Amino acid sequence: MDYEGFPILDADEVAGLIPDGAMVAFSGFTPAGAAKAVPRALARRAREYHAAGLPYKLRVLTGASTGSSLDEALAQAQAISWRAPYQSSRTLRDQINRGDVDFVDMHLSDVPQFTLFGFYGPIDFAVIEASEITADGRVYLTNSIGASPAFLHSAENVIIELNRGQSRRVAEMSDIVVPKTPPYRPAIDLDHPLQRIGKPYARVDPEKVIGIVETNEPDEATDFSQANQINKAIAQHVAEFFASEIACGRIPREFLPIQSGVGNVANAVLEAIGEHPDLPDFTMYTEVLQSSAFELMRQGRLRGASTCALVLSPQQMKQLVDEIDYFSSRLVLRPQDISNNPAAVRQLGIISMNTALEIDIFAHVNSTHVCGKRIMNGIGGSGDFTRNAYKSIFMCPSVAKGGSISTIVPMCTHIDHSEHSVQVVVTEQGLADLRGLAPKQRALTIIERCAHPDYRDYLYRYLHDSGASHVQHDLTRCFKLHQNFLRYGSMLHDEIPESEIDRIFSASF
Ligand code: COA
């Protein structure tokens, strides 16, 4: 049996071709468009090998996070030795934090370039979900583009998961371009988020396609919960800020394209923008289009969006396909080096909005590592957008874990975004506009507007007691809140003797 001249294989046959130690690049940017059947088969193969006392682990590369059939299934089978560039699987996260898996946390826009120029070494196999492949090597991708065009180009062997459950028409939204190599790379020709500059398909050398695996299953997207009061308060501050910036001319009347991170806070913010009477209809230039943005597009509030992935509920996916003529003129799906392109972000004047784990009083941001040690997910696209944004915003609740953690701290234990790139900080307590403020004023503004009242006194005291300098820090105490948390389970347990702090510090860091 073949399809367009390519052999049809089952997933277990394909897994049998991929040896221990191979570098495998899978499609997927979030669960959208992620390979499903082959990674599950690889997990089965790993279990069989391990049961027989044989080694079997893969080096796994993707566009970003994936569905449960990929990271979670492979991690549960102990089948991953190395992973890049982002993950959000609980099992894999634990393996990374135990030191069992080598994880490379990367800006997502860099992945195609790293692939095309061999920075990762050879890509032995690419496993790419598609809705169609033609005999001459045109590959129509499904609900994300990610780094798949680069994987198809660079991998030595290619397997296509031909997913009959995904509409072929979604590819009408794809706009795929593989940038020329430097130093002959022209500027990206984008005057508007919806401008198309590429083709609706990716290319593969047909000689490299070793097989097609037929599948029929939806993406493994998880639903977001309803916005809680804290997320709603954060969202309201952001929407009010935009309205006042437009009113005083610091954002143009027609607004600017928005990038929004993933998750519940981001969903709440988009809802609040949609509901705000003084904010005009808007566009997005973002990496993930999720449910709240989809609803705003149906209502006409969101005029159009450029994205790398569609992360929608099964019902929304059906609506998208049923009303494809409406959506295909309003949505553009791009590869991640274009959707997250720092030059395009600067060029288009993007407003970036991302979520932090913790933010220090000078506005350095930690998006990735709890207490500087344990990775949560990864930096994702937040750095791609933040550094070049017209306005860069970071948001988070002022406390975590029932109040035992302040997300506003004296010094971040890991820095993903520096004070130089962060313009606005928002918690449910309020919004700190830091533009034009020197470090001491930044600290006072963040503490006053964003810190939880339970932690304000501590933070004011820390700033005051640190003494005068350009950035006021006391290196003997800057991580005391974290040390308290690690030792006592609460940051405000501040009765620790100095000798004890020294002991904790050397044990923990
Ligand atoms: N210390 C320890 N734990 C913290 C914490 C802190 N300072 N802040 C939050 N947490 C915990 C929460 O308690 C929660 O834990 P749980 O899952 O056990 O309940 C978890 O971290 C997630 O926090 P939550 O408030 O639910 O936020 P979220 O789901 O919006 O995720 C990030 C926040 C930072 C983890 C997430 O946005 C992320 O991975 N960002 C980096 C990538 C990125 O920005 N991508 C978008 C670019 S387009």
Q: Please provide the DSSP assignment of 199-219 as one string.
A: BSSEE--GGGEEEEEEE----
pLDDT given at position 48: 98
Contact by Cβ (8 Å): 408, 398: yes
Q: What is the pLDDT of residues 323-343, one digit of tens each?
A: 999 999 999 999 999 999 999
Q: Would you state the pLDDT for residue 411? A: 98
Among 106, 355, 358, 384, which residue has the most ligand 1 atoms within 8 Å of its CB, making it the best to mutate? Answer: 355
Contact 112, 147 (CB under 8 A): yes
* The ligand 1 atom nearest the CA atom of 286: 48
Rounded mean pLDDT, 243-262:
96
Judged by phi (left if over 0) then psi (alpha if -120 to 50, else beta), residue 98 lies in alpha
Cα separation, 414 vs 105, in Å, equals 13
CA distance 135 to 150: 19
Computed from CA positions of residues 380, 383, 388, 389, in that sequence, does the dihedral angle turn out positive or negative? positive
Instruction: Catalogue the long-range contacts made by 492-499 (C-beta closer than 8 Å, 24 or more residues apart).
Output: 492/404, 492/406, 492/454, 492/455, 492/458, 494/458
Average pLDDT of 55-69?
Answer: 98
Whether the CB of 357 sits within 6 Å of ligand 1: yes
Position 393 pLDDT exceeds 80: yes
| Mean pLDDT across 203-216 | 98
The alpha carbon dihedral of 29, 338, 125, 206 has a sign of positive
Nearest ligand 1 atom to the CA of 287 is 48
The pLDDT, as a whole number, for residue 499 is 53
pLDDT value of residue 502:
52
pLDDT of the residue at 505: 44
Residue with tokens 């929608």: 312
Evaluate whether 404 touches 486 at the Cβ level (below 8 Å): no
Q: Which atom of ligand 1 is nearest to the CA of 263?
A: 30
Mean pLDDT of 18-35: 98
How far apart are the C-alpha atoms of 188 and 343, rounded to whole Å? 8
Read off the DSSP letter of residue 144.
Answer: B
Residue 188 to residue 179: CA distance in whole angstroms? 9
The model's pLDDT over 262-289, given as tens digits with 9 standing for 90+, comes to 888 999 999 999 999 999 999 999 999 9
Residue 509: pLDDT above 50? no
**pLDDT beyond 80 at 385:** yes
Q: Is the CB of 367 under 6 A from ligand 1?
A: yes
377 Cβ inside 6 Å of ligand 1: yes
Residue 335 has what DSSP assignment? B
- 217 carries an active-site annotation: no
**Per the residue annotation, which of 72, 132, 287, 358 is the catalytic one?**
287
pLDDT tens digits for 345-360?
999 999 999 999 999 9
182-201 pLDDT, tens per residue? 999 988 989 999 999 999 99
DSSP sequence for 448-480: HHHS-HHHHHHHHHHHHHT-SSSS---TTTTTH
Tell me the C-alpha distance between 269 and 227, whole Å: 9
* CA-closest residue to ligand 1 atom 39: 377
Contact predicate 327/320, CB 8 Å: yes
Q: What is the pLDDT of residue 493?
A: 76
Give residue 136's pLDDT: 98
Using CA atoms, how far residue 479 sits from 287, 360, 388, 410, 485, in Å, is 34, 11, 30, 7, 10
111, 150 in Cβ contact below 8 A? yes
Q: 212, 278, 271: which is closest to 251 by C-alpha?
A: 278
The count of C-alpha atoms lying within 13 angstroms of the C-alpha of 465, restricted to the half-sphere facing its C-beta, is: 12
Strand pairing report for 358-360 and 365-366: antiparallel
Report the SS3 class of residue 28. coil
pLDDT, average across residues 29-56: 98
> How many angstroms separate the alpha carbon of residue 357 from the centre of ligand 1?
5
Determine if the pTM surpasses 0.85.
yes
For ligand 1, is residue 405 a contact (CB within 6 Å)?
yes
Atom of ligand 1 nearest to the CA of 259: 48
Residue 95 pLDDT greater than 90, yes or no: yes
Half-sphere exposure of 466 (CA within 13 A, CB side): 22
The residue whose CA has the least distance to atom 36 of ligand 1 is 355
Give the pLDDT score at 112.
Answer: 98
Q: Residue 385 C-alpha to ligand 1 middle, in angstroms?
A: 18
CA nearest to 18, candidates 50, 47, 46: 46
Lowest pLDDT segment from 153-162, 430-439, 496-505:
496-505
Q: Is the pLDDT of residue 228 over 80?
A: yes
What are the DSSP calls for 152-166, one per residue? HHH-SEEEEEEETTS
